[in-house]
Structure 1
Amino acid sequence: VTSGATEALFDAVQATVQAGDEVIIFDPAYDSYEPAILMAGGKPARIPLQFPDYSIDWNRVADTMTPRTRLIIINTPNNPCGATLTQSDLDSLAEIIKDTEVQVLSDEVYEHMVFDDEPHVSVLGHPILKERSFAVFSFGKTYHATGWKLAYCIARPALTEEFRKIHQFVTFTTTSFLQHAIADFMQECPEHASELSGFYQAKRDYFCALLRDSRFSFTPSKGTYFQLMDYSEISNKDDMTFVRALTKEKGVAAIPLAPFYGEVPDTRIVRFCFCKDDSTLERAAEILCAL
């Protein structure tokens, strides 16, 4: 148990990566991955996800690997783009690393937010990957308590032993009364996690329906509570400039994708969050449709 998923990700990187080691991450990537790698003395090797479905080119992964590759970080469902990995993806990853000593760090904090009747595919369910992976999950994401910073990491004992050595000197322990609170809620509402996909899919569907007649273009997110939107028919401004103006002048907040990239592509895409009351989504959509 860790003080948030970001701590778990940091601990796993520090437990695995030594100076000069290379770590493969996929752009766009959650922005805590690279700093953790750099603090361990490692070198990020960034591979862009394939547009427009943000899938992984496994041939490119194989070509990017070197004798110095120590870790591959995957994220499903993906923040910021909402893409998900399939069983075929995990099979491809396993095939690539089977004759190496490369480990996997799997960020699965949105595991209960996968849409359209598709299953969440975890490294823990893969016979090869489960033996060489750290899998990170979030109580905060699942139980609507992100500010409490409660998460956990699952790995085989040899990996967990190294992980604990880092956790010991990062936070030492995680707030106990918050752990008790989450445990009590899990017992009182055992169905909560299984209902999340339906809840958030309804939000996604409603938000996308509200923006169907806007000048934004998009493909509905496959998971998380984020939706990417292409605004190229509205403005040619870069995403940082666009979202600042959208927030200050229109009162609708969005997140630029630039901070999630190493090398920022020449695209016009931003991330919206749809885990809001329907009335909030309606007000936002009214403004966005007028752009």
Structure 2
Amino acid sequence: MSNGFDDRKARAAGWFRELRDRIVTAFEGLEDSHGGSGTPGRFEVTPTSRADGGGGLMSVMRGGRVFEKVGVNVSEVHGTLGERAQRAMAARGVPGMDSDPRFWASGISLVAHMVNPHSPAVHMNTRMFWTPHAWWFGGGSDLNPCIEYPEDTAAFHAVLKAACDGHNPEYYPRFKAWADEYFFVPHRGRARGVGGIFFDDLNTGDWEADFAFTQSVGSAFLPAFLPVTEARRHAPWTEADRETQLIHRGLYAEYNLVYDRGTKFGLETGHDANAVLMSLPPLARWP
């Protein structure tokens, strides 16, 4: 399994970095075009590292005109999984973890928390994971409004559905249902947002096809999210709207700290804690 995958690893990591560059450029363009008071936001870029091997780039914008906080991280890490991570992988059906726990992983992860309460927060990630015995892709995107507009939800999902349908008509209903289940907050008895798509452990046996699908999911993000942001970023809002936004962010923080698989994996494998916890909102409130 290890032979012949170096080129594929490089291609995947390079594509995640290219997607990061596209998104950063688009988001800074939104800041420039927004107008009003204040200086347009810009990303602060910080290299990250993992003690056992590899690292990445953490790109965070704070206090912008449109984005109160947004992070776009890319990483490429490798090493040996610890016992807890090995058990988790074995439980997911990954073979050979007890005999050879080496791994390699690369991906992009994005979370945006908006200034305007009418403009929804959003999450997106895509990734590739490799061990000497298996490989797979995962990722998805989901919308997290504190004040929902059904037309925004429908538009966001329509773009994701089109991206899925271009590869397999079964993907969208399957991965939408997976997102609805995955992004549910059990202790609150509700979803953290209005969903999207989520997939993991994707290995059809055709690496090229699975990589192409993962690229489509990542490329669909800006067409899905930017029109919703354009529609809401200038909407007038009240202090009551802000309170609703901050309470919803509390729900988002609870989910990411308690349930999110990526957060757990990043912390357990020793990646930069600031990068792992980039998804947390700048301010939140609890009722």
TM-score normalised by the chain length of structure 1:
0.28
Q: Name the larger-Rg structure.
A: 1
Higher-strand-fraction structure: 2
Higher relative contact order (CA 8 A, sep 6+): 1
TM-score normalised by the chain length of structure 2:
0.28
